Amino acid sequence: MNENNAPLVILISGTPGVGKTTIGTLLKKKGYSVIALNDFILFNGLYYGYDHFRGSVILDVEFLKKELRTQIINYSNLLFIEGHTTEYVPKQLVSLIFVIKCNPRILRKRLIARGYLKRKIEENIQAEIMEECLLRHRENFPEKIIIELDSSDIKPEEIVNEIMKSIDNIS
Ligand code: ADP
């Protein structure tokens, strides 16, 4: 917890399929608080509607930021927020960001296994190649708090260990 009694907020982001949910589940099993941002958005109705072409919700960004500010103070110590759009978490609240990456060939296999439509798979592969998630976070947060981790060849448990080691270094 920091001096304002707010929790230390750690973001875990990346293109769909890189392993964010898997990492979040492992962190929960270890007893940590984890917000899955997609669930948070749906549960709290923080969207205008659904974009059928893109297959995703149309976010109400201002409402999302407001709701995060309100709800984050209910947590103590360490809070992980995992999701594709974590760049909308208010900057002042965030201590560290992990952008998970994945080799596009491996990512494609994971997205095919998930049953995504071809168009959606290619859109996500393109986003991964262009490092869109990383760039969005770089636009919103200082470079020094962003850490890239590659999930292509290591187990989710090892990624969690890397995350915890980095957090130990800042707290
Ligand atoms: P995201 O939440 O980023 O969309 P998921 O956690 O749902 O990604 O993972 C997508 C798929 O990839 C799942 O089938 C999961 O089991 C698998 N996966 C996740 N991380 C790894 C990893 N480090 N190595 C191999 N497979 C992984």
pLDDT in tens, 24-34: 999 999 999 99
Q: Tell whether the model's pLDDT for residue 1 goes beyond 70.
A: no
Specify the pTM.
0.95
Q: Tell whether the model's pLDDT for residue 135 goes beyond 70.
A: yes
- Angle (nearest 5°) at CA 164 between 85 and 88: 15
**What are the CA-CA distances from residue 11 to residues 77, 81, 93, 108, 140 (Å)?**
14, 5, 10, 24, 13
Q: Whose CA is nearest to atom 27 of ligand 1?
A: 19
Q: Work out the pLDDT band at 2, boundaries 50, 70, 90.
A: low
pLDDT for 165: 97
Ligand 1: nearest atom to the Cα of 18: 3
CA 81, CA 27: separation in Å to the nearest integer?
11
Query: Is 119 close to ligand 1, i.e. is its CB under 6 Å away?
Result: no
In this structure, the strands spanning 56-59 and 47-51 are: antiparallel
Q: Work out the pLDDT band at 94, boundaries 50, 70, 90.
A: very high
Q: Please provide the average confidence, as pLDDT, over all residues in the chain.
A: 95
* DSSP letter assigned to residue 6: P
Ligand 1: nearest atom to the Cα of 154: 23
pLDDT for 52: 87
Q: Which mutation among 18, 21, 22 tests ligand 1's pocket best, with the greatest number of atoms within 8 A of CB?
A: 22
Q: Tell whether the model's pLDDT for residue 69 goes beyond 80.
A: yes
CB–CB of 102/17 below 8 Å? yes
Ligand 1: nearest atom to the Cα of 151: 23
pLDDT for 4: 62
